[in-house]
Amino acid sequence: MRSSGDAPVDSALAIENLDVAFRVRGRDRPVLRRLSLRIGRGESYGLVGESGSGKSTAALAAVRYLPRNGRVTGGRILVDGRDLMTLSNAKLRELRTQSVSMVYQDPGRALNPTLRIGRQMTEVFEAAAGLTCAAALERAADMLAKVRISNPARVMANYPHELSGGMQQRVIIAMALSTEPALLILDEPTTGLDATVEAKVLDLIARLRADLSTSILFISHSLPVIARMCDRVGILYAGELVEEGPASIVFDKPRHPYTVGLLRCAPRYGQRKHDGRLTTIPGFPPLPGACVDCCIFTDRCVLSTDLCRQQTPAPVDLGGRSSRCHYTELVPDMPYDDANALPVATGPMRGDRPVLRTRHLSKTYQVRGKSLHAVHDVTLDLWPGETLGLVGESGSGKSSIAKLLLGLESPDAGSSIELEGTALPARAIRRSRAQLKALQIVFQNPGSALNASHSVRRLIGRGLRQAGLRGEECEESLQAWARAVRLSGQHLQEKPRALSGGLKQRVAIARAFAGGPKIVVCDEPTSALDVSVQAAILNLLVELQADQQVSYIFISHDLRVVYYLADRIAVLYLGRLVEIGSAESVFIGPHHPYTEALLSANPSLVDGEQPVIRLEGEIPSESDLPAGCVFQTRCPRKIGHICEQQEPALIEVEHRHSIRCHIPFEELKALQLKGSATGNAPGPS
Amino acid sequence: MTGGEIVRPRSLRSERLRAAGRSATLIIGLAILIFWVTCALFGSRIAPLNPYADNLLATLAPPSFAHWFGTDQLGRDIFSRVIVGARDILTVAPLATLLGTVLGTALGLFVGYYRGVVDDVVSRVIEAVQALPLVIVALMALAAVGTSNLTVVIVIGFVFTPLIARTVRSAVLIENSLDYVAAAHLRGEGALYIMFVEILPNVLPLLLVEGTVRFGYAIFFVASLSFIGFGIQPPSADWGLAISENYSLIGSYWWTVIFDALATASLVVGVNLAADGIQGVLQA
């Protein structure tokens, strides 16, 4: 499978010294510089980078489909041995239909909403292969079967909006593969999907690779995904390829400081906040082409010397791999940041009573005469100083619970929320100022959470004023908060627009803490951020918690992040609590079958020892819940009729660990232990 | 796309000013507008002849060196009258627009923020008003209260209010769903603070475009009302009024009508160009 691809003619894609510039306000700004890479036949090449690194530009350049203000200013691109820059428009079009296919991040936008799937698919065959309508329909059905769609005829009669995201992405992959392209470009193909769906789409791509001889350019910000899917990998930083080599080796023994930083800043599998702070990459990525005669990473690199600031490093050949660094030999011994331990709120402080408790919290929406059960009978306690992680796929009710707690939505009758023993009014408007102050939130998207018309000073300061601070006192407190979240005085004058995503999230955190809350709800606070920024935000959250003794409700779909931060974890499925317990007991198991599947779906850099568990089917609609256990339609460990007839109760199976499942705990333990045993053993022939 | 954009942090205002400087549409529109505003302010000093002095020896004279645009039935110099005629329309139309914008914004903020029953009722009323021919409505209102520059301002202002309210409402609905409004609720901010301090600044750009477009309509509206005798009253040199007084002569004495018509048209075009330009700059 692996071919280093020495002869350029035998490459599906060869990019040589590619420079791409975008014309912005009358000036050419470089976006890619001296990019060289080669993808052999049947090879899968991963391009990793953070936002703004030029990944997507590289993909667009590879099919000569740059936006109108972008152009190739140097270098060559060879697809299937043909030089793209010399092709006529007609030839280029032929090449795009025959030899290259692209799959984009958002499947919903890549499909035409007004055409049935069947029509969109046959179009490809009619245009590319000149087939008749009937023949094209047959081929389309074949392709859909290839991407493991069980009922192609039905799917072809559907409009895109009638399919789930995972299903749409399958259709797009089927369309992309239908011309049997030499090169398939996948640009963040699973980023918008839930973990369990993502896992299945990745499985599919991996299986298709084995069947077809297509080469793949896989673009992603996610290192675990690339590690799993690719033979070779290139790390892109500010428009330059800083390291390249076989994926397993690069991720195991990185030889560029940036790769090291990237690998270290995501929580490792099983890493906890008590183990120490996450490594961060200080500073911000420069604009591509920001320095001409220096190393592009020098400003953020701990190994940086005068040499790095005066001379651009050439790629150093390290035997089958290369790194653009002057000090590749020093990289393996780069110091860890996490030696300086984080001040962790030492274990949750068990006060005499929970700071927040919900009893039978439910929320039903009425949508077109149907009842939508977003949250159902959630009973939770949150203790002072602890972090409770809420985990689940989209539609599991995580964010709905957050809204109910904050009073942005009112729960159904019979629900109760208590703050330190006193009942909280349902709506925020009815709550007292003290009650409002006690419960704050950090939103997922700092862009919409900060008022674009207000300066940072005002965004943070208003909360302080509302908390009753005035004049000097207010100003001092404002400065203190700015320091606490590492914002400079200059930042205070800016409007949010001028700040990067990470800085915006710091402002949002400062705002949430400014009033002196008891509980801060963090609703996916890092999922809109790059990994290097994520680490800094997580460190900040841990520090602030230790300092302010607040409790967190931390919502995330990223289990490693939740495990790093949370003391206890609650797993939600279709608005129901299916498992709750200490982070260790939920994470290590034995756990609910759904938790097991979630854990299995999360790609990890290290190939875990868990057996692969994939959920079949789609998440049922909240308005049409299955009878019995809501998970029974997808449960890989379903035991029989009882699951279909009776909803299991949430039972405390161990000390402070409850699971909602009919399978007895001992049996679950045996099953999951056995599962991992067979997962390890070589499969029976 | 992750790689394409280059974000340069620079203040929004300076960036927009630069964009404004490059927008030909905006510059041409503003130039026309500034020209007529100058005429409105200093018309009597710019005009070569007294626009109100009749000369019965030179009635209906065609354009010549002495009278560039000719003279009207009373022998008054049309060129001077066109210049001075900008004054009333450029007083009434902007004030009417301003009144409509202020009232419409307040109404739009309220219904967009509170939604619910208030919104349902007001939105239906707005739709009903939009179904009526606005000139006729204004005509009837003016017939009832009597015509003067002030009543014209008020009537047009009220007629515009629901139109602007509708635009503002839809923008407020979008803003209302953003997290910063939720954050304001969680700080315990009052409704007025959220409406006017949190939401309003974010709909201002839209309001600027909407207001300019409405201003164009207002000019048209005032000219139409003057033409049918319910707008600006004699002895003003107003363009609509002049057209109204002379349109029966257009067959043989075209100059008595055409220059006032062109002046009105150029002002409307200028304002609309400016509106287009502003929109382009704000969206850039």
Tens-place pLDDT, residues A407-440: 999 999 989 999 998 999 988 889 998 899 999 9
Cis peptide before A257 (omega within 30 of 0): no
C-alpha distance from A508 to closest chain B C-alpha (Å):
10
From A416's Cα to the closest Cα of chain B, the distance in A is 19
Provide the ipTM.
0.81
SS3 A485: coil
Amino acid in position A228: R
Look at residue A362 in the predicted model and tell me its pLDDT.
93
Q: Give the pTM.
A: 0.84
A 471-530: CB under 8 A from B:
494-495, 497-499, 511, 515
Determine contact, residues A28/A21, Cβ cutoff 8 Å: yes
Residues paired with residue A363 on neighbouring β-strands, in sequence order:
A375
- H or E segment to which residue A374 belongs: strand A370-382
Please give the pLDDT value at position A682: 34
Spacing of C-alpha A659 from chain mean position = 27
Which alpha helices (DSSP H) does A14-54 contain, by range?
none
B186 touching A (Cβ < 8 Å): yes
- Where does residue A568 rank: exposed (0-12), middle (13-18), buried (19+ CB within 10 A)? buried
Interface test with A, best of B5, B12, B176, B179 (most A CBs within 10 A): B179
**B chain contacts of residue A445, beta-carbon cutoff 8 Å:** 179
- Interchain contact A458–B (C-beta under 8 A): no
**Closest of A322, A429, A414 to residue A362, by C-alpha:** A414
Contacts of B195 in chain A (CB under 8 A): none
| Of the candidates B1, B161, B137, the residue with the CA atom closest to the CA atom of residue A219 | B1
Q: CB of B13 within 8 Å of any CB in chain A?
A: no
Out of A31, A57, A436, the one facing B187 most closely (by C-beta) is: A436
Strand ranges for A508-642 from DSSP E: 519-523, 551-555, 568-573, 576-582
Residue A611 has pLDDT above 80, yes or no: no
Residue in B with minimal Cα distance to A462: B187
The per-residue pLDDT string of chain B (284 residues; one tens digit each, 9 = 90 and over) reads 333 333 444 567 787 888 888 888 999 999 999 999 999 999 888 888 888 888 888 888 888 888 889 888 888 899 999 999 899 999 999 999 999 999 999 999 999 999 889 899 999 988 888 888 888 889 999 999 988 999 999 999 999 999 999 999 999 999 999 999 999 999 889 999 999 999 999 999 999 999 999 999 999 999 999 998 898 888 888 999 999 888 888 888 888 899 999 999 999 999 999 999 998 888 76
Q: Which of A650, A680, A659 is nearest to A596 (CA)?
A: A659
Cβ atoms of A108 and A160 closer than 8 Å = yes
Residue A547 contacts by C-beta under 8 Å, 6 or more apart in sequence? A343, A484
What sign does the CA torsion over B23, B28, B31, B32 have? negative
Residue of B nearest to A58 (CA): B3
- Angle of the A501-514 helix axis to the A471-484 helix axis, nearest 10: 140
Q: What is the pLDDT of residues A161-220, one digit of tens each?
A: 888 888 888 899 888 888 888 899 999 888 878 888 888 888 888 888 888 888 999 999
Q: Flag the least confident range among A56-60, A229-233, A345-349, A552-556.
A: A345-349
Q: Is A222 on the interface with B (CB under 8 A)?
A: no
Chain A closest-CA separation from residue B185 CA (Å): 7
Q: What was the pLDDT predicted at B5?
A: 36
> Quick check: bond before A30 cis, omega within 30?
no
Q: Tell whether A18 is within 8 A of chain B (Cβ).
A: no
Convert A62-90 to b/e letters by CB count within 10 Å (16 or more is b): bbbebeeebebeebbbbbbeeebeebeee
Count of CB atoms situated within 10 Å of the CB of A642: 14
Asked if A464 contacts A474 with a C-beta cutoff of 8 angstroms, the reply is yes
- The reported pLDDT for the residue numbered A30 is 87
Q: Could you tell me how many residues make up chain B? A: 284
How confident is the model at residue A674, as a pLDDT?
61
Q: Which of B10, B114, B187, B282 to mutate to test the interface with A (most CBs of A within 10 A)?
A: B187
Q: What is the pLDDT of residue A3?
A: 40
d(CA A221, CA B36): 57
Residue numbers in B near A437 (CB within 8 A)? 188
Q: Cβ contact (<8 Å) for B182 and A406?
A: yes
Contacts of B188 in chain A (CB under 8 A): 428, 431, 433, 436-437, 466
The torsion defined by the Cα of A609, A612, A618 and A620, in degrees rounded to 10, comes to: -50
Inspect the interface and report whether the beta carbons of B188 and A466 lie closer than 8 Å.
yes
Return the residue in B180, B192, B198, B208 with the most chain A beta carbons within 10 A, the one to mutate for interface testing: B180
Residue A345 pLDDT grade (very low, low, confident, very high; cuts 50, 70, 90): low
**Range A137-142 contact pairs with CB under 8 angstroms and sequence separation of 24 or more:** A139/A178, A140/A174, A140/A178
Q: Is B1 on the interface with A (CB under 8 A)?
A: yes
For A147, how many CA atoms within 13 A lie in the half-sphere containing its CB? Answer: 23
Kindly report the backbone phi and psi dihedral angles of residue A330, in degrees, each rounded to the nearest multiple of 5, phi listed first. -85, -20
Instruction: Provide CB contacts within 8 A for A119, sequence distance 6+.
Output: none
Residue A587 has pLDDT above 50, yes or no: yes
Tokens of A293: 């005669």
* Calpha distance B91→B105 (Å, rounded): 21
Segment holding A47, helix H or strand E: strand A44-48
Spatial distance between the Cα atoms of B179 and A528, rounded to a whole number of angstroms: 15
How large is the angle between the packed helices B239-246 and B255-283, nearest 10 degrees?
150
A388: which 2 tokens?
Answer: 């409770």
- Give A574: exposed, middle or buried? Use CB within 10 Å, 0-12, 13-18, 19+: buried
- What are the distances in angstroms from CA A624 to CA A368, A570, A572? 13, 24, 17
For residue A398, give Cα distances in angstroms to A123, A367, A455.
40, 19, 31
Which one of A47, A432, A451, A499 makes the best mutation probe of the B interface by having the most chain B beta carbons within 10 Å?
A451
Instruction: Give me the phi and psi of A158, to 5 degrees please.
Output: -85, 155
Residue A46 CB coordination number (10 Å):
26
Bridge partners (DSSP) of residue A361 are A378
CB atoms within 10 A of CB A279: 22
Averaged pLDDT for residues A499-524: 91
Mutate to test the interface with A, among B12, B178, B186 (most CBs of A within 10 A): B186
> Chain A to chain B, count of Cβ pairs less than 8 Å apart?
99
Q: Does A53 touch chain B (CB under 8 A)?
A: yes
What one-letter code names the amino acid at A450? L
A345: left (phi over 0), alpha (psi -120 to 50) or beta: beta
List, as one string, the DSSP characters of A261-279: HHHHHSPPTT--GGG-PPP
Name every residue whose Cβ is closer than 8 Å to that of residue A115 and which is 6 or more positions away in sequence: A159
Flag if B3 and A56 touch (Cβ within 8 Å): yes
Residue A79's closest CA among A67, A91, A66? Answer: A91
DSSP code of A76?
E
CA A673 from centre of chain: 29
A178 touches chain B (CB under 8 A): no
Asked if B180 has any chain A CB less than 8 Å from its own CB, the reply is: yes
**Mean pLDDT estimate for chain A:** 85
Alpha-carbon distances, residue A78 vs A11, A81, A183 (angstroms): 8, 5, 11
* The two three-digit tokens of residue A414, written as one number: 């019979």
Which is nearest to A156 in space by CA: A101, A201, A115?
A115
> Please, which residues have CB within 8 angstroms of residue A74's CB and are 6 or more apart in sequence?
A17, A18, A19
Considering only alpha carbons, which residue of chain B is nearest residue A105?
A: B1
Backbone angles phi, psi at A499, to 5 degrees: -105, 155
A2 confidence band (pLDDT: 50, 70, 90): very low
Q: What span, in angstroms and rounded, lies between the C-alpha atoms of B181 and A512? A: 14
Backbone angles phi, psi at A582, to 5 degrees: -60, 155
Give CA torsion, residues A311, A315, A316, A319, to 10 deg.
180
- The answer to whether the Cβ–Cβ distance between B2 and A429 falls below 8 Å is no
Cα Rg of chain A (Å, integer): 26
List pLDDT tens digits, range A547-585. 888 999 999 888 888 999 999 999 999 999 999 999 988
Looking at residue B196, what DSSP letter applies? Answer: I
Rg (chain B; Cα; Å): 23
Q: Dump the DSSP string for A104-151.
A: -S-HHHHS-TTS-HHHHHHHHHHHHT---HHHHHHHHHHHHHHTT-S-
